[in-house]
Structure 1
């Protein structure tokens, strides 16, 4: 089938988009346990970027499962496909010149590596949102840890399924002690130093 397909190149280059938007596209891939603060940080950073005149968009794991990934469950294969699709969308948004912030547990190193390869290493920043399982469970805003402890949710990351801590993330944030606003500011400053042309 692929032999009948042709890749069409557009007339607008990445350099033109970067000049127009005054930013280099990048994906910040926020990974961490459920209730570590990924979504809160992602949306705080998006708001901060937009206030500074930068074009960004959040791809939140829960939101994507309401629409694009509504046909997927939580088996290992489905979780991998969830990450693959999200990475493909992030790649397309980066091609459009946007800064993308994803918020997905993405517990396996191999799946995060797949996302890096889809998006492109030069546009991928792995951000480890570091909060211990005990702290995340004490927060539990959705009541998921309680359900997992009761056996109502199988294969729950941090309880009955593993979470592989990133070996060498580009950025690590301490969401146990640092407030969301401070974390967003730190990430913004990191971006400003590398992805906003002078």
Structure 2
């Protein structure tokens, strides 16, 4: 995704008197990002929501950023070409950083197939604040679950190219 609007050179960071440490003390927790990745149908959203519920039960403030949900709003202008996928991950990484800076446990659940995109998100935070979880489920299990019907479409030849590669078919 490219923009025809030139980047502004007169934008400056504005520090506020209440910082990350202040927010963490108030919430009595350290903000971080738990980045869950894996094939479509591997259980990313299920794990993210279960983790979010468990943290809530334990009195911890968490928020789930689900890749599909974000494509209904923040990322609805993006497609699935490599550059759009990279921008999708970049935007989610920036939002996740804001949540972590606010002192929340941010649980990001996205396919995020490219290591370089995940590493860019990791670079936004200190390493101890970014936890990457890869759900290493078999292709057979993911295809059997197929909640979006993507594997069926790929097998029928209706999805081609890199999408099939990312699905593993």
Q: Give the secondary structure class of the aligned counterpart of 1:66.
A: coil
User: Runs of 5+ in structure 1 lacking a partner?
Assistant: 165-198
Q: 1:120 to 1:155 in 2, by over 3 A?
A: farther
Which of residues 51, 55, 62 is equivalent to 2:61?
55
Contact 1:106 1:112 in 2 (8 A): yes
User: Runs of 5+ in structure 2 lacking a partner?
Assistant: 1-6
Contact 1:148 1:156 in 2 (8 A): no
Q: How many residues align?
A: 162
Contact 1:108 1:163 in 2 (8 A): no
Contact 2:65 2:107 in 1 (8 A): yes
Contact 2:24 2:102 in 1 (8 A): no
Alignment of 1:39-188 (within 5 A): 39-155=45-161, 157=163, 160-162=164-166
Q: Give the secondary structure class of the aligned counterpart of 2:33.
A: strand
Q: 1:46 to 1:155 in 2, by over 3 A?
A: farther
In 2: Cα distance, 1:125 partner to 1:113 partner? 11
Which of residues 38, 46, 54 is equivalent to 1:32?
38
Q: Give the secondary structure class of the aligned counterpart of 1:10.
A: coil
In 1: Cα distance, 2:127 partner to 2:90 partner? 15
Q: TM-score, normalised by structure 1?
A: 0.77
Q: TM-score, normalised by structure 2?
A: 0.89
In 2: Cα distance, 1:102 partner to 1:82 partner? 12
In 1: Cα distance, 2:152 partner to 2:139 partner? 13
